[in-house]
Amino acid sequence: MNKILVKNLTKVFGSNPKEGVKRLQQGQSKEQILKDTGMTVGVNNASFEVKPGEFFVLMGLSGSGKSTLIRLINRLIEPTDGEVLIDGQDITKMNKNDLMQTRRKKLSMVFQKFALFPHRNVLENVAYGLEVQGVEKSEREAKAQKSIEDVGLKGYENSYPDQLSGGMQQRVGLARALANDSDILLMDEAFSALDPIIRKEMQDELLQLQSKLGKTILFITHDLDEALKLGDRIAIMKNGEIVQIGTAEEILENPANEYVYNFVEDVDRSKVLMASNIMKKPDVITTWKDGPRVAMKKMEDAGLSSIFVVDKDKNLKGILTIDAAIKAYKENKWVEDVLELDFHTTDPMTPLSDLIGIAAESKYPIAVVEENKLVGIIVRVSILSGLVLGKEQSEGMKE
Amino acid sequence: MNYFTLPLEDWTNDFVYDWLIPVMGGFFDSVSSIISFFINGVADLFLMIPAEIIAIVFILLAWRLAGKGIAIFTLIGTLYLGSVNLWEDAMLTLAVVVVATFFSIIIGLPLGILTAKYSILDKIVRPILDFMQTLPSFVYLIPAILLFGLGEVPAVISTFVFATPPAVRMTTLAIKQVPEDMVEAARAFGSTSWQMLVKVQLPVAIPTIMAGVNQTIMLALSMAVIASMIGAPGLGSTVLAGISSVNVGLGLVGGLGIVVLAIILDRITQGLGNKNKK
């Protein structure tokens, strides 16, 4: 089941929101409605789902409605129309008490400007969610303590928010959300107020935390690089509408329209493309039983000066150069006695940017290995063309 | 501009003499005795405690809340009040201020919280507060005497009328000024309205609320002279005696007493607000 399911969610701000929805359904544009009625469409007919444990990113520029959308999910802003199912239950139809319980047990939020309580120390801030639930002091402080340690703030329990740096304050914000033990984290531009280095650090730690704790995360950002780095899937918003949903790959390779294209145009592709995107199927493989003669023949056929050697189960054993093959042939040795082991390996998820350096210093192709099995090879030219061709593909689309 | 005659004077007098006093007299008598009970209790307490102890408490409070300079000022100020033989008057004035401020706060703070929450109430309360603050105080001294007689009770009532508006206004402002994202955070974590108020809004608002309380105390003190005209005892009566006998020296002696008391109370309550800020 989906953790969050959003169906046709719409928010119109103004004197007669239902009228606004009607106009939207009749196909009037946001601008037309503003002109005719003075009402603002915040979110228009948004639908998406977030699966358990998924990291879902909503990306859009300011004014695109993303902050409104995330607030419709926990009803900090009342939706005008549509449904929001949290674990299958429609939050838009809940009474006051059920809504409060859902906020307490299932949804935790992290805010752009931290929104810490200045009169409470770190421990009391983190324990706030449990405190309003009526959890006993010793128990809530123990839980708060654990999430403080999870975010790496041990030792700061008695500090006050104004004594902490921005990055540390947001760690408190994150710990406060984690302490509730809810499955879903709503993160509203959580890292946007931080400087770039701290921001990167927090992103990495959030990814680690998520893999450790298995939270479902709905993350809002205006930064495409952040979206691509964090999101399992990304929804791009414009003018209150979701214009494309997909993985980082899908969005980069096939921007749904010019708006998305303009977004992704400047992305540093080396950070997005991974080894698995540019690797080639290993051209020729000599199995363990093949002798030097067969190897030499295969290299000759493919025009190679070296070849990777694997066993029956495709486990990578080493690389055989043409010189070594000739030597083994002349001296009547086994291939395994002349294998070269000094080559580079990488896993399929390594970003292109990390491969550039390796490729530059490696004599041989880079072996892409997954669980010790050879799944592909990367030659220097693939890296260069990966960097260049991706760019040309998007430029082709623009024309 | 005299298109019609508005008999406001007659209406008011009819209302006061024919209904308010005969019908509601009993009610006002009981209000009067309650206030009188409070103010006598407080005044007796202040007069019973040796002057030196009260002075030391003030000096310590000033030192803790407002710093060394104000503590020294408090020492000099209390010595002054003693040396011009105004200590008892100062305590009586203080009693009127304390009781009036007490009523202003227990009514003003909740009212301020409610007006912050319900804008409709704000629309009703705001003009009433304007009325209370701008109507010349002499105007409501007249019915205050009629209803409560002479003495410290009408003084407390008229001081209350004059000094309550800032308590209400600053409380409303303080609650409204609590940053929206903190309120959102409290809601997002499932707080009830009451939890939101006592765990987030009030604690964050306290410094501004304290500024309102400080203003209430200052306005209450500034009513001391006017209140003495309807028979309230205290420093105001010394000033009034100076005025009526054209005795410049006596006027200055009493006036300085009020200033000394005002500065001490102002700095201490300001210090209280600033302390809460940290």
Contact (Cβ atoms closer than 8 angstroms) between residue B230 and residue B145: yes
Nearest beta carbon to residue B188 from set A103, A114, A118: A103
Residues of chain A with CATH 3.10.580.10: 276-386
- pLDDT digits 0-9 by tens, A221-234: 998 888 888 999 99
Q: Which two tokens stand for residue B182?
A: 């903190």
- pLDDT digits 0-9 by tens, A344-392: 888 888 887 778 778 777 778 888 888 888 888 888 777 776 666 554 4
Q: Do A117 and B192 touch (CB under 8 A)?
A: no
Q: Do B199 and A108 touch (CB under 8 A)?
A: no
In this predicted model, which residue has the larger pLDDT, A328 or A221? Answer: A221
Residue closest to A13 by CA, chosen among A36, A43, A58, A47: A43
Contacts of A114 in chain B (CB under 8 A): 181
Q: Which two tokens stand for residue A36?
A: 């005719």
The pLDDT value recorded for residue A395 is 43
Contact (Cβ atoms closer than 8 angstroms) between residue B265 and residue B217: yes
Cα–Cα distances in angstroms (integers) from residue A220 to residues A51, A82, B90, B93, B185, in the given order: 16, 20, 62, 60, 16
Strand order in the sheet with A366-370: A345-346, A366-370, A373-378
Strand order in the sheet with A107-110: A107-110, A184-188, A216-221, A55-59, A233-238, A241-246
Nearest beta carbon to residue A103 from set B190, B200, B203: B190
Residues of chain A with CATH 3.40.50.300: 4-106+182-267
The pLDDT value recorded for residue B277 is 57
Contacts of B33-39 with CB under 8 Å at 24 or more apart are B35/B99, B35/B148, B35/B153, B35/B156, B35/B157, B36/B151, B36/B152, B36/B153, B38/B99, B38/B102, B39/B95, B39/B96, B39/B99, B39/B152, B39/B153, B39/B156
Q: Where are any strands of DSSP class E within A250-380?
A: 306-310, 316-321, 345-346, 366-370, 373-378
For CA atoms A167, A168, A169, A171, give the dihedral sign: positive
Give me the amino acid identity at A93: K
**Angle subtended by helix axes B152-177 and B137-148, to nearest 10:** 130
Contact (Cβ atoms closer than 8 angstroms) between residue A4 and residue A85: yes
What phi and psi values does residue A256 have, to the nearest 5 degrees? -65, -30
Question: What DSSP letter does each residue of B175-199 carry, written as one string?
Answer: HHHS-HHHHHHHHHTT--HHHIIII
For chain B, 278 residues long, give each residue's pLDDT as a single digit of tens. Answer: 888 888 888 888 888 888 888 888 888 888 888 888 999 999 999 999 999 999 999 999 999 998 899 999 999 999 999 999 999 999 999 999 999 999 999 999 999 999 999 999 999 999 999 988 888 888 888 888 888 888 888 888 888 888 999 999 999 999 999 999 999 999 999 999 999 999 999 999 998 999 999 999 999 998 878 888 888 888 989 999 998 999 999 999 999 999 999 999 999 988 887 776 55
If you measure CA to CA, which chain A residue comes closest to B204?
A119
Domains of chain B: 10-277 (1.10.3720.10)
The pLDDT value recorded for residue B87 is 93
Q: Which of residues 174-233 of B touch A (CB under 8 A)?
A: 179, 181-182, 184-192, 195, 199-200, 203-204, 206
Region A276-386: CATH code: 3.10.580.10
Give me the amino acid identity at A282: P
Using alpha carbons only, how large is chain A's radius of gyration in Å? Answer: 27
The one-character DSSP state at A305 is S
Q: How far is A161 from chain B (nearest CA, A)?
A: 11
Q: Which CATH class is domain A4-106+182-267?
A: alpha beta
In angstroms, the CA B154 to CA A49 distance is 68
Question: What DSSP letter does each residue of A319-335 carry, written as one string?
Answer: EEEHHHHHHHHHHT--G
Q: Which residues of A sit within 8 Å Cβ distance of B?
A: 71, 74, 76, 100-104, 107-109, 111-120, 128-129, 131-133, 176, 180, 186
Residue closest to B166 by CA, chosen among B269, B278, B40, B255: B269
